[in-house]
Chains A and B, each alone.
Chain A
Amino acid sequence: MMTGLSTFITVLDGLLAGVGVTVLVTLASLTLGVILGFGLALLRQFGGLRAIHFLIDAYCEVMRNIPALTHLFILYFGLASIGFRLSAITAAILGLGLIGGAVTCDLFRSGFAALPNGQREAALAVGFTPLQAIFAILTPQALRIALPSLGNYTVQLLKDTSIVSAIAAPEIMFYARSMVTSSFQTTLIYATVAGLYLLLGLPLTQAIRFLESHYGRLKA
């Protein structure tokens, strides 16, 4: 029993080495994704040019219909073969962030689309410029509507960071896989991994619940 406990502690200790990178990749790609997605949503929703609409739609389709793993391999192995060598962590953040841009673009867009036209018209009628109307009147309301789905996306993203172990970014799953090859505690190691992700997800879910209850859509 004691040896069981001490093996568990060794395993946990080994996995904790990857928590920092997992959190880093999650937060960095979330930031990149949300900024990119918001920018794209604004351009798609309020920008005039047809060509830009087409480009943004094409970008979203390509990003969302191809697995993240394939995107990561293109960025990490593919680009390296033509001379652009990215570090594993950079490729991971860039890959998940670029996909996140397409995912959150859709979430922000449906936020904007849910607002009645009268909001914009009223803002223009009381003398806001079109840009002011977008940023001061429409954006805050659209963000509130998009908040729950952004929360779901964030929880999904935390789990998805585990696949960047495939390009050897040293996060939780990477340490798990290298530990498995040296010890043979496979079941214990992967069960601990599962528990660790659950634990990491808890504060995230709590934070999202807090945000939703404080800034979420106000009941009419």
Chain B
Amino acid sequence: MSDFIEPYVEYGREWLPLLLRAMATTALLSVSAFALSLVFGLLLALCRNARSRALRHFATLYVSVVRGVPLLAILFLLYFGLPGIGITFDAFTGAVLGLALAFAAQVAELFRAGLMAIPKGQREAAFAVGFTPAQSFTLIVLPQVVRVIVAPLIVTFVSLLKDSSLASLITVNELVLTGRAMATEYFLPLQIYLAVGLCYFLIAWPFSLLSRRLVPAAG
């Protein structure tokens, strides 16, 4: 057992700054991708309710295709595949875009469910008191939708945070890739990957707790 603990005492000082920097990258990656997926997701949900048939079909197709394809395939296509036809990203941008495109499908489903939960009368009442369609959506409908779906949105964020680990496979220097580099340098994979796991847990767990606390309030 002391063999197991010893490396943490011996190398803790060297590991901590490396892991903290990697945690910051993971957090930045996840937050940027989540913000972008909220935008894409909302647009998709609006497309699904749009009057234009083409838009509705596009959104339905997008959601069902993206939900059936592994995130890793999407990331590899964006980062390794698109340069073949002349479009290149740096790894971080590729990862943000890939995560956002993949999670937009899930977010869109949440927004759609949320939109259905708001009674039609809310919109009609907003029109009746003189709001424009855009105003009634952004000021009356959307805030209520967000309140209904905030807990599942946080759950989605936790999934995204965990899936951001796949960005290591397209060379983004986040927690897992940093862990791999450290594991080859120090030859202590068990201790290092456990520390990496703890880093994820420290970021994800508060959000998991928060999502559960918010559930009764939304219902």
Q: Using CB atoms and an 8 Å cutoff, list the residues of chain A in contact with chain B.
A: 61-62, 64-71, 73-74, 77-82, 155, 159-160, 162-163, 165-166, 173, 176-177, 180, 184, 186-187, 189-191, 193-194, 197-198, 201-202
Closest Cβ–Cβ distance, residue A51 to chain B (whole Å)? 21
Shortest distance in angstroms between A89's beta carbon and chain B's nearest beta carbon? 18
A-B interface, 8 closest residue pairs, ranked by CB to CB distance from nearest? A78-B190, A67-B165, A162-B70, A187-B81, A65-B204, A67-B162, A77-B189, A159-B70
A70 touches B197 (CB 8 A): yes
Q: Are B80 and A180 in contact (CB under 8 A)?
A: yes
By the criterion CB–CB under 8 Å, are B201 and A65 in contact? yes
Taking CB atoms, residues of chain A closer than 8 Å to B70 are 159-160, 162-163, 173, 193-194, 197
Residue contact A73 to B72, C-beta cutoff 8 Å: no
Separation in Å of the B57 CB from the closest CB of chain A? Answer: 17
Task: Give the CA-CA distance A155 to B14 in the complex, in Å.
Answer: 41
Question: B9 to nearest A CB, angstroms?
Answer: 18
At the interface, yes or no: B145 with Cβ under 8 Å from chain A?
A: no
* Residue in B76, B158, B166, B193 whose CB lies within 8 Å of A73: B193
B65 in the interface (beta carbon within 8 A): yes
With a CB–CB cut-off of 8 A, which chain A residues contact B183? Answer: 73, 77
Binding site for A on B (CB under 8 A): 4, 65, 67-74, 76-77, 80-85, 158, 162-166, 168-169, 175-176, 179-180, 183, 187-191, 193-194, 196-197, 200-201, 204-205, 208
A184 to B56, CA, bound (A): 36
For residue B81, which residue of chain A has the nearest CB?
A187
- Per a CB cutoff under 8 Å, which of A61, A74, A165, A194 touches B193? A74
- The residue in chain A whose Cβ has the minimal distance to the Cβ of B190 is A78
Q: How far, in angstroms, from A187 to B73 measured CA to CA in the complex?
A: 10
Nearest Cβ on chain A to B94's Cβ, whole angstroms? 13
Q: Are B162 and A66 in contact (CB under 8 A)?
A: yes
Partner of B72, one of A65, A155, A162: A162
Q: Does A79 contact B65, Cβ atoms closer than 8 Å? A: no
A186 touching B84 in the complex, CB below 8 Å, given contacts A73-B176, A162-B73, A173-B72: yes
Using Cβ atoms and an 8 Å threshold, which residues of chain B touch A202?
A: 68
* Chain A residue at minimal CB-CB distance from B204: A65
- 7 new A-B contacts at CB < 8 Å, known A67-B200, A74-B197, A82-B190: A62-B201, A73-B179, A78-B193, A159-B69, A173-B73, A177-B76, A197-B70
